Amino acid sequence: MEDILIASSSQQPRQLSAEEIAEIEHEKTLYPDNKAVGLEALKIVQKHQGWVSDESLLAIARYLDLSVADLEGVATFFNLVYRQPVGKNVILFCNSVSCWIMGCEGVRSHINKTLGVDFGQTTEDNEFTFIPVPCLGDCDRAPVMMVGEDLHRNLTNDKVDTIVASYRAEHQE
Amino acid sequence: MVENPLTKNIDMTRPPLVLADYVSNDGYQSLHKIAGGMEPEAVLEMVKDSGLKGRGGAGFPTGLKWSFVPRGEDSPRQKYLVVNADEMEPGTFKDRLLMEGDPHLLLEGMLIAAFAIGASKAYIFLRGEYTQSFMTLSKAINEARDKGYLGRNILNMGFDLDIILHTSAGRYICGEETALLNALEGKRANPRAKPPFPQVSGLWGKPTIVNNVETICNLPGILTYGVEWYHKLTKGKDHGTKLFGVSGKVKNPGCWEMPLGLTIRELLEDRAGGMQDGLGLRAFLPGGGSTDFMLPEHLDLPLDYEDIGKAGSRLATGTMIVLDDQTCPVGMVGNLMTFFSHESCGFCTPCRDGLPWVDAIFRDLESGKGKESDLEVLREHVDYMGPGRTFCALAPGATAPLGSGLKYFEEDFKEHIAKQRCPYRH
Ligand SMILES: Cc1cc2nc3c(=O)[nH]c(=O)nc-3n(C[C@H](O)[C@H](O)[C@H](O)COP(=O)(O)O)c2cc1C
Ligand code: SF4
Ligand code: FES
């Protein structure tokens, strides 16, 4: 846990962008208090920045007048709030029971071998971060993973190769 | 007569029906019926009479739950409806189908529920990973708003409803209804003490009903076609139809709407096509990862809350996970323990400390380091983390596959220890 210490006050908050502020202001209209907006703001910042740095967290806490420690507590609780930098694409790989029965471990080792990363790691070219995720709710088409916002089903090693190549190609354009 | 009210509009080979098409297939009729002069009490009575039980896992009667919401002049003015769309139970894939296949059905159901309990604001607590559901629901909400089915003074009946689509940031415990409320309020998602129950003091301290997606999707049919029609749907003791799923090594895994009360065999063999060639059925979890294993000898039991309960398990989400005879049962239970251990919220000791311990033992068993004493430790944990010993139902949920697994697969556990390896690995 060393590198995810509570955002220290010695750090300077990042300047939130106009876009981020506009989206946070919109969320404010949907919830009766700022506390509830805090989690939304974390997600908004992550959408724009890729992850939530200490500087961003501090900025949100200041902007919404929330306790830094409370917001940090929320940020670290949720699986989908990234407190460390991630690659351009996050692979959320289901390793729950139905996918396990259908052989996801084999696909995992294939990714491990071909991309050189295991769970929690980012590829050297910063293209993919590989993260396990509980059941993605598509168990009848297991094994399953998401890359970014897209779901990929009935995975095989070959299929994974094609998927990986297509994301790489996208970024070379 | 409509026989598949939950899926009658669903065809996953095309996008879901847009509002106009949904309306032309009896959609939003219930709303017009209510606008024609139904009181909230009458709606509540219909839902009570229908016998609908919650489809989120616990099977609690929906009408009864609603009736705990304070009503009348001196009750709090703000009340909330929250739809639990956090679907994260391993092996469960039914709410996604409803939200991506027919989003207006959920919205129509929400209008009915909100009207009955007097809520003017409703949140859909949607799993963050369900990006496709987010898109279909957002689009449907906009359509309904443009049409005047959402917003202020709906159909001139003095009833307002706003629906807010909230996406979660991922933790299984958020599906527990009081943890869900904390998550919606922007707090860490630890469960809350009950009482007070959410029906009396829930979201921001206001009366709140939390219902599962599928539960809500039952409502339009009940209101539109009536209680008598609803009672004719079932083939068993519990009312209505339900989504049933099968995953694992069967020929045709999938999710289907079936009347309650058909046999497990009809689901497994007729719908899912039976086991893949060359494989036998060893056991199955009838309703997601936190239910007890059942055996082939149970195949002729009806898919009903009570009958599955009598066999020592729970119907729960109705999505069955099948274990074949060439997959390691110890590995399967171990996989579930890793999940539960990771998803423990850490609030109470038996769960926070017990699940990682259990998980570690399973890793030892897998890697050939199992000890004779391990089985006893595992058995003790079934007791330590059982119902009534922990703050919420997550840990007892974990003990369901663990306890029944220890009972039914004892030989496999012993073999792992005796051979100091997993005998299923070649
Ligand atoms: C750990 C845990 C996770 C749960 N996850 C869900 C879930 O993802 N979806 C759901 O509808 N209910 C879930 N439940 C059940 C809810 O607490 C609650 O009973 C349900 O949403 C009530 O809806 P119903 O009455 O319509 O079934 C979960 C319960 C526990 C203990
Ligand atoms: S049983 Fe587990 S998940 Fe539930 S409150 Fe206790 S620690 Fe949290
Ligand atoms: S277990 Fe992987 S999608 Fe459900």
Q: Per DSSP, what are the bridge partners of residue B247?
A: B321
ipTM above threshold 0.90:
yes
The pLDDT, as a whole number, for residue B224 is 98
One-letter amino acid identity for A65? D
- Strands of the sheet containing A128-133, edge to edge, are A121-122, A128-133, A89-94, A145-147, A150-152
The pLDDT, as a whole number, for residue A4 is 45
CA separation, residue A153 to residues A104, A140, B350 (Å): 11, 9, 36
User: Nearest-CA neighbor of B345 among B185, B127, B183?
Assistant: B183
pLDDT class of B426 with cuts at 50, 70, 90: low
CA separation, residue A112 to residues A109, A133, B271, B342, B415 (Å): 5, 16, 36, 21, 30
Measured CA to CA, the distance from residue B55 to residue A58 in angstroms comes to: 41
Tokens encoding B199 = 């029906």
List chain A residues with CB under 8 Å of B183: 39
Position B26 pLDDT exceeds 90: yes
Of A42, A134, A136, the CB nearest to B339: A134
pLDDT class of A11 with cuts at 50, 70, 90: confident
* Location of structure tokens 């809500």: B216
Q: How far is the CA of B227 from the centre of ligand 1 (A)?
A: 25
Assess contact for A56 and A45: CB atoms under 8 A. yes
B contact residues 179-218, partner A, Cβ 8 Å cutoff? 183-189, 204
Position B387 pLDDT exceeds 70: yes
Measured CA to CA, the distance from residue B160 to residue B155 in angstroms comes to: 10
Q: How far is the CA of B398 from the centre of ligand 1 (A)?
A: 15
The pLDDT, as a whole number, for residue A10 is 57
CA terminus-to-terminus distance, chain A: 38
The overall longest dimension of chain A from CA atoms, in Å, is 50
Q: Which helix (H) or strand (E) holds B324?
A: strand B319-324
Assess contact for B378 and B401: CB atoms under 8 A. no
Calculate ∠ Cα B183-B187-B188, nearest 5°: 85
- For the segment B290-313, the average pLDDT, to the nearest whole number, is 97
Report the phi/psi class of residue B232: left, alpha or beta, with left for phi > 0 and alpha for psi in -120 to 50. Answer: alpha
CA separation, residue B387 to residues B59, B258, B381, B397, B398 (Å): 16, 30, 12, 8, 10
The pLDDT, as a whole number, for residue A9 is 52
Write the pLDDT tens digit of every residue in B238-271. Answer: 999 999 999 999 999 999 999 999 999 999 999 9
Residue % of chain B over a pLDDT of 70: 100
Measured CA to CA, the distance from residue A135 to residue B338 in angstroms comes to: 12
Q: Which residues in B62-199 belong to E strands, given as ranges?
A: 80-85, 121-126, 162-167
The residues, any chain, with a CB within 8 Å of residue B172's CB and separated by 6 or more, are: A134, B88, B89, B339, B343, B394
The pLDDT, as a whole number, for residue B418 is 97
Q: Which helix (H) or strand (E) holds A62?
A: helix A54-64
Average pLDDT score, chain B: 97
One-letter amino acid identity for B75? S
- Strands of the sheet containing B162-167, edge to edge, are B162-167, B121-126, B80-85, B208-212
User: Nearest-CA neighbor of B85 among B123, B114, B139, B52?
Assistant: B123
Q: Which parts of B186-311 fold into alpha helices (H)?
A: 213-217, 219-225, 227-233, 264-265, 305-310
Torsion of CA A151, A154, A160, A162, to 10 degrees: -90
Q: What is the DSSP letter of A6?
A: P
Contact: B183, A138; criterion CB under 8 Å: no
Position B322 pLDDT exceeds 70: yes
pLDDT class of B343 with cuts at 50, 70, 90: very high
Measured CA to CA, the distance from residue A66 to residue A168 in angstroms comes to: 40
The pLDDT, as a whole number, for residue B425 is 86
- Index of the ligand 1 atom closest to the CA of residue B393: 31
Contact: A33, B339; criterion CB under 8 Å: no
Assess contact for A90 and A120: CB atoms under 8 A. no
Measured CA to CA, the distance from residue A83 to residue B8 in angstroms comes to: 43
- Report how far Cα B290 is from the mean position of its chain's Cα atoms: 11
Q: What is the DSSP letter of A8?
A: P
- Find, in chain B, the residue whose alpha carbon is nearest to that of A77: B188
- Index of the ligand 3 atom closest to the CA of residue B93: 4
* Secondary structure (3-state) at B242: strand
pLDDT class of B22 with cuts at 50, 70, 90: very high
Q: Per DSSP, what are the bridge partners of residue B321?
A: B247, B285
List chain A residues with CB under 8 Å of B322: 101
Q: How far is the CA of A15 from the centre of ligand 2 (A)?
A: 38
The pLDDT, as a whole number, for residue A1 is 36
* Secondary structure (3-state) at A159: helix
- For the segment A28-46, the average pLDDT, to the nearest whole number, is 95
Of A42, A98, A133, the CB nearest to B129: A133
Higher pLDDT, A169 or B298: B298
Position B75 pLDDT exceeds 80: yes
* Location of structure tokens 């369900």: B130
Measured CA to CA, the distance from residue B291 to residue B402 in angstroms comes to: 9
Is the previous residue joined to A13 through a cis bond, with omega within 30 degrees of 0? no
Q: Kindly report each contact of residues B237-240 with a partner whose C-beta sits within 8 Å and lies 24 or more positions away, as own/partner.
A: B237/B261, B237/B302, B237/B304, B237/B305, B237/B306, B237/B307, B238/B51, B238/B53, B238/B304, B238/B305, B238/B306, B239/B50, B239/B51, B239/B52, B239/B53, B240/B50, B240/B51, B240/B52
Report whether residue B393 contacts ligand 1, using a CB cutoff of 6 Å.
Answer: yes
Of B89, B129, B187, the CB nearest to A92: B129
Measured CA to CA, the distance from residue B302 to residue B192 in angstroms comes to: 35
Contact: A139, B164; criterion CB under 8 Å: no
Measured CA to CA, the distance from residue B188 to residue A72 in angstroms comes to: 10
The pLDDT, as a whole number, for residue B59 is 92
